[in-house]
Chains A and B, each alone.
Chain A
Amino acid sequence: MAVDTNTTKTKELTVSMGPQHPATHGVLRLVLDLDGETVVKCTPYVGYLHRGIEKLAENRTYLSALPLTDRLDYISSMSNNIGYCVAVEKLFGIKVPERAQYIRTIMGEMTRISSHIIGVATHALDIGAMTLFLYSFRDRETLLDLFEMTCGARLTVSYPRIGGVRNDVSQEFIDRLYAFTEEFPATIEREYETLLNENRIWKERTVGVGVISAEDAINWGLTGPTLRGSGVPYDVRKAAPYDAYDKVEFDVPIGKNGDVYDRYLCRMEELKQANRIIRQCIEQMPQGPIMAPDAPKFTLPPKDRVLSDMESLIHQFVLITKGPIASPEGEIYVATEVPKGELGFYLVSDGTGRPYRMRLRAPSFVHVSVLPKLCEHALVADVIANIGTIDIVLGECDR
């Protein structure tokens, strides 16, 4: 039947996308007002995963609040743990031994690799390039096996400790990781970049999509590769180095146009830089203790001492049950560079063993807030590309 175009009418349509939608990377709900295929207005709704982590942390000791941070960005839990430990150490004034700093840096960069390849792969899967998804899980598996070898867990690791790390890494770990870093840059070029960099469909879907200028990106509070894609060379690892980042050389890749494609290129380059950092750390890593020895009132004593020495047993008991007896009174904001962007901890201490307030500045939360700007006047298909490019994890967004 022929449609009489003179009498048909058009009207705006409101579509609810999510919270159960494969392209929203979790439970994000977007309400889209559509004019044909163009997005007029995009309203994100978050909070479906809200677990009240900030409230819970206020009622736990500094030590037992650590596992909560695993549950923020659950595909890069090691980085969150490190961020928390760095913040608490700065509050307490603890100096971490050099070996522990290097181990943490290695773990942080391994997490960056596994998070970025998942981010890029799911992003590509949403847009229609499926092969990369399968490759990325193979590489991520190697890294997760290495995590498992060191601390027994693959995702919720809780491996770093206030004042160091839980246990030393084995020689087998180092050998296998080094073998991985020798292969990995070639793997990226051979299997990732050849599939996407000059792929005509990929470029059609990403070049010129979701553009945000450097000025706007700063004003909206973006961080991490999402900010650097717009050409702002801001990286917490360079601006305020923590752990061993001031002892290794690496470049901060930046984009030019601030579109989805440039952010993708930034992430790919960061994979290579992370690989470079890991190699330097393995080569430079000194022998020595892995826990701060001069802070028995704040950090757990080694297990063999606990079993043989009365003082250490008492310290362990008090630390686990009550937390540090005398924490310094004050407040501190410490930011670290996690794969998604800048993770900030604002800790307020009232002198007791529990944080009076632990505020989390989660990069994903800020990044979701910029979605309406990226999606306005874009096509529905570009909404999917935009969700992928800001690389969000809703566990971190909703806390």
Chain B
Amino acid sequence: MSRVFVTGIGIISAVGSTLMENRSALAAGRSGISFAATLSSRYAGVLPCGSIGTSTDEWREQFRIDHPGITRTTLLALHAFSDAIADAGLSDVSLRDPRVALVGATTVGGMCLTDELYRDTTRSCDNSPYLSSYDCASVHLFLQSRYGMTGLGTTINTACSSSANAIQYGARLIRNGLATTVIAGGADSLAKFTINGFHALQILSPKPCRPFDRDRSGLNLGEGAAFLVLEGEEVLAGKEAAGGRAGGKETAGGRAAGRAGGKPIYAELTGYCNTNDAFHPSALSLTGDGPFLAMQGALQSAGLKPADIDFINTHGTATENNDEAEGRAMLRVFGELPPFASTKSYTGHTLGAAGAIEAVYSILSIRHQELYASLNFAEPIEDMGIRPVQVFRQHAVRHVMSNSFGFGGNCTSLIFSNVN
């Protein structure tokens, strides 16, 4: 089966609207968690969030979109998607090829229009411009139509592991010969709907979150989007040949390791695994069975040993339950843990976008050979004694594992590897 490479990235989060801005914030240890100015909810000034300051209307103007049914979630997705395809140098014509697939992920989708949906369900909806916006698929269908894409387009919702699964599905489409290029990722915006949902579950922290700390008090919600352009080695070899750089005895992967059609390749997606914890609808088993199996399966699929992993970008939501279950599962897999951190202390928990955003951070870690610090950590969880990276530093990074776990027990681990 073909090897799969990341050839383009687009990202927007509370710590920046470009790849460069995101990396600068991670390197500087600068969190984006604050009080959301753009969220209409009584909790907006009470519970800190990883919110993006740009208003939905400003984005509409920027992208010249006047349809009110295009939601904040979709605009976030458009932002990251357009950056990703530009970064990979995909032309408008190439996007229309039916062998190019779009695999999106979202949990909020159009539900960010909480008040509009309430109006439409309780009064006449006859002239409402929002009716086809509320579902999750509205996000990828907008992108597909805007770019005239004709190939496979789909959306995954496995709660907070959604976009990790989108990346996995995209890579498998390539490996199975069902697509040549896949743009895979996810988007979610802050919404009255989710902030009330997580508040009802009593897992939102009134302070900036403290992943893996003994005194952690829950998660901060966030918003954002990220898309990766995935391409198989055959496609890259073709691009190289077209660019006149096809080497004599080099393998396609070897050529890919350098550049794709003159552009740098970010990383290779070498491992992935999706499992279910099968324990509780909204909590992980304390032995972390689902996370354990996901991490172990990802290592197996990559053909790697635990000791090969140089950094783990954890799910690390900073809820009582997640960090304990994930910590125990990591100890079961690794024995002695490699350096690990939770970048949710920068972005908040971006739900359906988190897997893709954290995939991007994992790739940044490989690309710049550096480890990002987990913020707000002071004391380790009793009986476990594990400590995340607390200071940003240079470090040799060949393989990074990125964990994403969600409600319904949906667990996915991805492994990205250095190609240089």
**A and B held together in a complex:** no
Seen from chain A, the residues whose Cβ lies within 8 Å of a Cβ on chain B are: none
